[in-house]
Amino acid sequence: MDQGRATHLTAANGGSGVVVGGGGSVGVQIHQSRRLPDFLQSVNLKYVKLGYHYLISNLLTLCFVPLIIVTLIETSQMELDDIRQLWLHLQYNLVSVIICSAFLVFGLTVYIMTRPKPVYLVDYSCYKPPDHLKAPSHSFMEHSRLTGDFDDSSLEFQRKILERSGLGDDTYVPEAMHAIPPEPTMAAARDEAEKVMFGALDKLFSNCSVKPKDIGILVVNCSLFNPTPSLSAMIVNKYKLRGNIRSFNLGGMGCSAGVIAVDLAKDLLQVHRNTNAVVVSTENITQNWYFGNKKSMLIPNCLFRVGGAAVLLSNKSVDRRRAKYKLVHVVRTHRGADDKAFRCVYQEQDDNGKTGVSLSKELMAIAGGALKTNITTLGPLVLPISEQLLFFATLLVKKLFNADVKPYIPDFKLAFDHFCIHAGGRAVIDELEKNLQLLPIHVEASRMTLHRFGNTSSSSIWYELAYIEAKGRMRKGNRVWQIAFGSGFKCNSAVWQALRNVRPSHNGPWEDSIHNYPVKTLSE
């Protein structure tokens, strides 16, 4: 046996066992044999649960197989004379056959014409800013000090937030924020928006070989910057899109607006046949930097960074062959009727008239409630029947017997292969990892996106998807769950299914840095 590759486990007679990896290095040690039964018990429970899920998921198949076999045997025993009699009977009832055939054809036609059209994600691109816009933590703090807008307490608060944020030193801030003093002018904000949107769209059109004139639907979302003419009009003007294009500009909808934009494009693609739709998701920082000293309004300065994404969707059947993904579900949850939820992410002025976005201390609790509502709707659509039965049984026991039973948390790892959790901050990712009982690899894309690009608002879920592709983990049939939170308060989910083994597109955001990831972060 090749000792360089073999792995051994020994534990007997009270001795110790070691795991020996390549080169004979010691990896894991079991010091006492009494721990072995616990290990075996956990393994047995794991396989019992897997067996249960397999049995329930294939229960219909297992029940119908004997029935089909019996039917085939009975059919094979039918005499040839019986078949001839049946054929003669049909010949003399030609009218009945024609009527039945007509109803069948009519029913199939109605079904084909009215069924929802599949929506394909042909490709997408993420904007990667130039290196001179990078803002390492030490430069960020020095710049904040030199502006003279922040007192010592605010500077120390920002330093602590940066240390705990999960952001690395390669994130980007706009050109206007590199100047001393900063220049948050309308011209600078337009310049930021154009560079991000046009940079993403140029790559998208190049990678897909799509002409701008082929775009029939355009949806742009940006929460805090809404100039006149609109951002969508800026794109129409830049690329000379056709005059009858259906364009929409979504504003003030927060970090979850990217999923909302996809949902709107999906609905439009159900109405307009043989059409391409482009969704552009971004956020603008230039005119939304906070220059005051209110702690709750300083947090966005430390988290939000430059970024944007452009997505090409299609309802053309011919595009299925080249598309990366198929849209399976979109589930949207809005908690705006609750006053606390409505105000937990709130743009306002402080006592000195400085404008910024205030984050409530109750934000995580409100996000948790919104997530619970969202997955209550999403669960029955995606979870295997085995998980739904366990959830229902727990709920039934609790209701009928008033028992002190912990609510069963469905295992979403059985429904999804990959998770793209909005990189809103380390606390958001930590909370979802804990509540959904995910493994570190499931939140790796979110953590690394936060580290490399920061919180890019609604586009962060696309940087995360690009990370999974760059790592070569996306396989045909894999399901992806994109989940994002936004002001209002909203929790929105999109579910995609890979149509092939997906490779990263040319000039992707991770192309020159994926070999450096994953890196160790504070929460790990």
Domain identity same for 225 and 196: yes
Domain identity same for 156 and 190: yes
Rounded Cα gap, residues 183 and 178, in angstroms = 9
The pLDDT confidence band at residue 60, using thresholds 50, 70 and 90, is low
The answer as to whether 302 is a domain residue is yes
- Digit-coded pLDDT (tens) for 362-408: 999 999 999 989 988 898 899 888 888 887 787 777 777 776 767 67
Q: What share of the chain is helix, strand, coil (3-state, %, to 5)?
A: 50, 15, 35
Q: What are residue 249's DSSP bridge partners?
A: 220
Q: How far is CA 463 from CA 207, 232, 509, in A?
A: 17, 22, 7
pLDDT of residue 17: 39
The pLDDT confidence band at residue 328, using thresholds 50, 70 and 90, is very high
487 pLDDT above the threshold of 90:
yes
Domain identity same for 294 and 426: yes
- Give me the helices (H) in 272-356, please: 295-303, 339-343
Tell me which of 222, 276, 284, 334 is the catalytic residue: 334
Cα torsion for 291, 296, 299, 301, to the nearest 10°? -20
Domain identity same for 224 and 204: yes
- Give me the helices (H) in 166-307, please: 175-178, 186-208, 231-239, 257-271, 295-303
Single out the residue of 412, 421, 99 nearest to residue 259, CA to CA. 421
Report percent pLDDT > 90 for the chain. 67
The answer as to whether 85 is a domain residue is no
Interacting residues of 453 by C-beta distance below 8 A, sequence separation 6+ = 171, 172, 305, 307, 423, 460, 463, 509
Q: Examine the residue annotation and report whether 132 is marked as an active-site residue of this protein.
A: no
The pLDDT confidence band at residue 131, using thresholds 50, 70 and 90, is very high
Tell me which of 208, 315, 374, 422 is the catalytic residue: 422
Rounded Cα gap, residues 388 and 57, in angstroms = 11
Q: Examine the residue annotation and report whether 31 is marked as an active-site residue of this protein.
A: no
Domain identity same for 368 and 450: yes
Q: Examine the residue annotation and report whether 442 is marked as an active-site residue of this protein.
A: no
Q: Examine the residue annotation and report whether 302 is marked as an active-site residue of this protein.
A: no
Report pTM: 0.82
Domain identity same for 172 and 301: yes
Mean of pLDDT values over 268-287: 95
The answer as to whether 81 is a domain residue is no
Neighbours of 262 (CB within 10 A): 26
Rounded Cα gap, residues 457 and 308, in angstroms = 8
pLDDT of residue 23: 37
The answer as to whether 170 is a domain residue is yes
The answer as to whether 461 is a domain residue is yes
Q: How far is CA 25 from CA 9, 15, 32, in A?
A: 13, 19, 20
As for how many domains the chain has, the answer is: 3
Mean of pLDDT values over 98-123: 81
Q: Examine the residue annotation and report whether 329 is marked as an active-site residue of this protein.
A: no
Tell me which of 418, 442, 491, 492 is the catalytic residue: 418
Q: What are residue 345's DSSP bridge partners?
A: 359
The answer as to whether 24 is a domain residue is yes
Tell me which of 126, 451, 491, 492 is the catalytic residue: 451
- Digit-coded pLDDT (tens) for 295-312: 999 999 999 999 999 999
Domain identity same for 428 and 353: yes
Q: Which residue range forms the structural domain that includes residue 185?
A: 120-500
CA angle 343, 346, 350 (to 5 degrees): 120
Domain identity same for 51 and 10: no
Tell me which of 208, 222, 255, 344 is the catalytic residue: 255
Neighbours of 38 (CB within 10 A): 9
Tell me how far apart the terminal alpha carbons of the chain are, to the nearest angstrom: 36
Domain identity same for 143 and 8: no
Average model confidence (pLDDT) for the chain?
85
Rounded Cα gap, residues 161 and 299, in angstroms = 7
* Secondary structure element (H or E) that encloses residue 138, with its range: helix 137-147
Q: Examine the residue annotation and report whether 451 is marked as an active-site residue of this protein.
A: yes
Tell me which of 288, 455, 478, 492 is the catalytic residue: 455
Residue indicated by tokens 């794109």: 235
Say which residue, 417 or 11, is predicted with more confidence: 417
Report percent pLDDT > 70 for the chain. 79
Largest CA distance in the chain: 100
Domain identity same for 241 and 318: yes
Rounded Cα gap, residues 305 and 435, in angstroms = 27
CA 352 to chain centre: 38
Burial 278-313 (b: 16+ CB within 10 A, else e): bbbbbbbbbbbbbbbbbebbbbbbbbbbbbbbbbbb
- Digit-coded pLDDT (tens) for 158-180: 999 999 999 999 999 999 999 99
- Give me the helices (H) in 406-513, please: 426-435, 444-453, 460-470
**Amino acid in the structure at residue 145:** R
**Amino acid in the structure at residue 523:** S
Domain identity same for 52 and 166: no
The phi and psi torsions of 366 (rounded to 5 degrees) equal -70, -40
The answer as to whether 99 is a domain residue is no
Domain identity same for 47 and 135: no
The answer as to whether 87 is a domain residue is no
